[in-house]
């Protein structure tokens, strides 16, 4: 567990918690670590979710798939990010989303009941973790609202510009790297990849953007 301390200290879930408390946490919380290859399902829709996961290495996508296998990427998460907290804290058993690795990943799973319930060790970090979890849920609601704004745009160009604009503002720079490859970006914006690629080329010719792979600059 020692090798994961730096990652956990930088995770929003454990913000404000001392290193010594993190070490004690290993004794208190039921933890297990699993490794997944790229494009592996961590969780499939309809499977019950009783643990929250922290990404120790790699990147995962939260996706929604329809009956025919078409998918939409709801969000992408990377090292230090948390997933599953909304479902386990509301005790929803009929999960409608899937969690899939975008690259090889290591995931630490934490028992939700152990996080939120007092234990025999009388650990003083439980209340802080609960506060952090509530803050994370609130931030993710804001992110979802932002995504709805992207998807509400009428044309593919408007959707792309809405997303790229938000990324530039988030990075406070007109040049930035997005976490998606071409197919993932299309899935995230709910557009056809070919139409999106054609629109990106036109936007570059119109001198609205320049890009190479997932590196973009707004002009």
Which residue in 21, 20, 23, 28 sits closest to 4, CA to CA?
A: 23
**Range with the largest mean pLDDT of 26-35, 126-135, 173-182:** 173-182
C-alpha closest to that of 26 among 56, 2, 54: 2
Convert the pLDDT of each residue in 113-128 to its tens digit.
777 776 665 566 777 8
Overall pTM > 0.85: no
> What is the pLDDT of the chain when averaged over all its residues?
88
**pLDDT at position 107:** 96
In this prediction, residue 94 carries a pLDDT of: 65
CA atoms within 13 A on the CB side of 72: 12
Q: What is the pLDDT of residue 70?
A: 85
Q: Which residue did the predictor score with more confidence, 90 or 10?
A: 10
The pLDDT tens digits for 2-39 are 778 888 888 888 888 888 777 777 767 768 899 999 99
């Amino acid at each position: 567990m020692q090798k994961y301390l730096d990652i956990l200290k930088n995770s929003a879930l454990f913000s404000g918690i001392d290193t010594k408390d993190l070490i004690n946490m290993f004794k208190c919380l039921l933890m297990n670590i699993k490794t997944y290859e790229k494009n592996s399902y961590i969780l499939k829709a309809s499977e019950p979710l009783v643990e929250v996961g922290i990404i120790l290495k790699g990147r995962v996508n939260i996706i929604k798939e329809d009956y025919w296998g078409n998918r939409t990427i709801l969000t992408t998460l990377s090292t230090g990010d948390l997933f599953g907290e909304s479902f386990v804290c509301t005790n929803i058993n009929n999960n409608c989303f899937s969690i899939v690795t975008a690259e090889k990943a290591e995931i630490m799973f934490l028992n939700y009941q152990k996080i939120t319930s007092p234990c025999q060790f009388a650990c003083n970090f439980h209340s802080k973790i609960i506060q952090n979890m509530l803050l994370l849920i609130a931030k993710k609601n804001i992110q979802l609202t932002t995504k709805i704004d992207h998807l509400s745009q009428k044309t593919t160009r408007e959707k792309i510009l809405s997303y790229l604009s938000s990324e530039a503002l988030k990075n406070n720079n007109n040049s930035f790297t997005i976490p998606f490859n071409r197919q993932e970006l299309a899935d995230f914006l709910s557009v056809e990849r070919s139409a999106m690629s054609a629109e990106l080329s036109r936007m570059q010719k119109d001198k609205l953007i320049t890009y190479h792979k997932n590196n973009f600059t707004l002009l």
